Amino acid sequence: MTDATDSRLPPRRAGGDDPAAPRDPRTTLLPATGPGTAAVEAPALSGALAEEGLDTRTSTVSTRSQSYGSLVWRRLRRSIPGMLGLVLVALLILMAIFADFVSPVDPKARNVSFAPPDKISWHVPGDGPEAGWRLLPVVFPIVEGEEFDPVTFQPITGPDYDNPRPIVLFAPGWEYSFLGIRMNRHLFGTADGSPFHLLGTDTLGRDIFSRGVVGSRISLALALSSIALITVIGTLAGITSGYIGGRFDAWFQRFVEIILAFPQLPLYLTLATLIPVTAPSGLFLTFVVVVIVALGWAQLSREVRSKTMALRQVDYVRAALAVGASDGRIITRHILPNVMSHIIVSITLGIPSIVLLESFLGFLGFAVKPPLISWGLMLQDAGTFSVIGSYPWILSPVGFVLITVFAFNALGDGLRDAIDPY
C-alpha cells in the first residue's frame, strides 16, 4: 500500500495545517483533491512537474462560455471599417431622429438665392475693435452686392467681413416641435440666431444643409421600410420553397426567375408617367415602396432557398425529423437561426441600393412633392450643367448619399466577416 502523498514532493512545513502559521505570500496553497491527499504549494508543485518534463505553463484560454452574439461583437470590434460603419450608421439614425435639433436654419425659410457656403474663420480682418484672432470660430454671412454677374446676371454675393458672428453650441434659432414641446435650441449656430448656411443655399434661397438633414428622414424611412418588407417576404418565400422542394419548388423558382429577369429601370420610368403630378406625397411613397418590394424580394428568396436546401440535409435536422418534430419547429428552431446571419448582412447591403435608387429617381423627377424633403428631391436642382458649373455647392446632397452608402456597406462587410469568419 502506497502513501497518498507523492514522495517526490518536498516535505510539508511544520504548521502547514495551522491557518495562523506563517506562509510566504508569493506562494499559493493548492487545495486537496481527495480524502487522502494533502494541500501542496504551487511553486513546489511546479518544480516537481518541471523535473518530470511536464508543461507547467498557465492556460490563458477563458473558461467562461460566450454566446454567439458576444463572439460576433468581439470579431466586429476588430474590424476598423465595420466599427466605422457602425458609428456612422448610429449617427445617421440619430441625425434623422433629431433632425430639427441638428438643423441650424429652417429648411423652408428663404434667403439669398444660390448663396455660397458661409465663410468660417478664426480671424477677423480689419482694424476695428473686433479684428484679430478668436478662440471660437466666427462666420461671415453672405450678402448681395451692387454688381451683377455678366454671365448669369445674378447679383454678386460675398462675405460680409464687417459683421462677424460667433458660432456656438446649443444656439438659439427657429422654433420647432419635439414630442409636443416647443423648442428653439439647435446643436450649433450663430450666437444671435441669424441664418448660418454651412453648405450654401439652393435656387430658392433655402439652406442646403438643413434640408439635407431633414430629408434624411424620408430617404432613410423609405429604405428601412422597403428592406423590412423585402426581408420578411424573401425569407418566408425562400425557406418555404427550399424546405418543401419537389414540384412546388420547381414551379416557384420559375416565377422567381421571371421577376429577376424583369428590367427595373424601364418599369420605374414607365410608372413615373402614370402617377399624376398633383398626386399627394403619401401616394407616391406607397407606390415606390410597393414597386421596390415587388422587384426586390426575389433575389433574397433565392439566396435563402439555397441555404435552406443545404441545411435540410444536415444531421441535426434529420434527427429532428426522426423524433417526430413538426415542420414549424424545425424551421423556426433549426433552419431560421442558421440563415439569420445571411439575412442580416443582406439587410445592411440592401439599404444603400434603395437609397441610391431613391436619389436616382428623384434626379429624374420621380420624387416626393414639397413640403416633404428627400435627397432625391434636392438633387433635382442639379439637373442642368450650367447650374452645376456656376454653383457647385448645389451638389452637396450627394455627400449625404455617399456617407450613407459607405456607412451601410462598411457595416455590412464587417458583419459578414464577423458572422461567418470562414
Beta bridge partners of 123: 133
pLDDT tens digits in sequence order for the chain, 422 residues long: 444 444 444 555 444 444 444 444 444 444 444 444 444 444 554 555 455 555 545 544 555 667 777 888 888 888 898 899 999 999 999 999 999 999 999 888 888 788 888 888 888 877 766 777 878 888 887 777 677 777 666 777 777 777 788 888 888 888 888 888 898 888 998 888 888 888 888 888 889 999 999 999 988 999 999 999 999 999 999 999 888 888 898 999 999 998 888 887 777 777 667 777 677 777 778 888 888 898 889 999 999 999 888 888 888 888 888 888 888 888 888 888 888 888 888 888 889 888 888 888 877 777 777 778 888 888 887 766 667 777 888 888 889 999 999 999 999 888 888 887 55
CA-wise closest residue to 199 among 93, 124, 105: 105
304 and 239 in contact (C-beta within 8 Å)?
Answer: yes
Beta carbons of 385 and 339 less than 8 angstroms apart: no
Return phi, psi of residue 44, to 5°: -65, -40
Q: Among 231, 245, 232, which Cα is nearest to 312's? A: 245
- Distance CA(5)–CA(134), nearest Å, equals 80
Q: Which amino acid type is present at position 335?
A: I
DSSP designation for 25:
T
Distance (Å) of CA 342 to CA 89, 90, 120, 219, 304: 19, 21, 46, 24, 8
For residues 354 and 289, what is the distance between their CA atoms, to the nearest angstrom?
Answer: 10
C-alpha to C-alpha distance for 32 and 270, rounded to whole angstroms: 83
The grid coordinates of residue 28 equal 499559493
Q: Which helix (H) or strand (E) holds 173?
A: strand 165-178
Yes or no: say if 345 and 415 are a contact pair by the CB < 8 Å rule: yes
3-state helix, strand, coil in the chain (%, to 5): 50, 15, 35
Nearest to 370 by CA among 182, 146, 214: 214
Side-chain half-sphere of 137: how many Cα atoms within 13 Å?
A: 13
Domain boundaries, the chain: 75-98+210-419, 118-196
Q: Note the pLDDT of residue 62.
A: 53
Cell readout for 121 is 474663420
pTM for this one?
A: 0.75
Residue 40 and residue 28: Cα distance in Å, rounded?
8
Beta-bridge mates of residue 120: 139
**H-helix or E-strand spanning residue 40:** strand 40-41
- Give backbone dihedrals phi and psi of 186, rounded to 5 degrees, phi first: -130, 165
Question: Pick from 377, 383, 381: which is nearest to 358 by CA?
Answer: 377
- Cα–Cα dist 282/360, whole Å: 19
**Rounded Cα–Cα distance for residues 236 and 241 (Å):** 8
pLDDT reported for residue 50: 53
Q: Give the SS3 label for residue 29.
A: strand
Query: What span, in angstroms and rounded, lies between the C-alpha atoms of 262 and 46?
Result: 72
CATH number of this structure's domain 75-98+210-419, picked from the four choices 3.40.30.10, 3.40.50.720, 1.10.3720.10, 1.10.3330.10: 1.10.3720.10
What confidence score (pLDDT) does residue 85 get? Answer: 92
Phi/psi-derived region of residue 195, left when phi > 0, alpha when psi is between -120 and 50, beta in every other case: beta
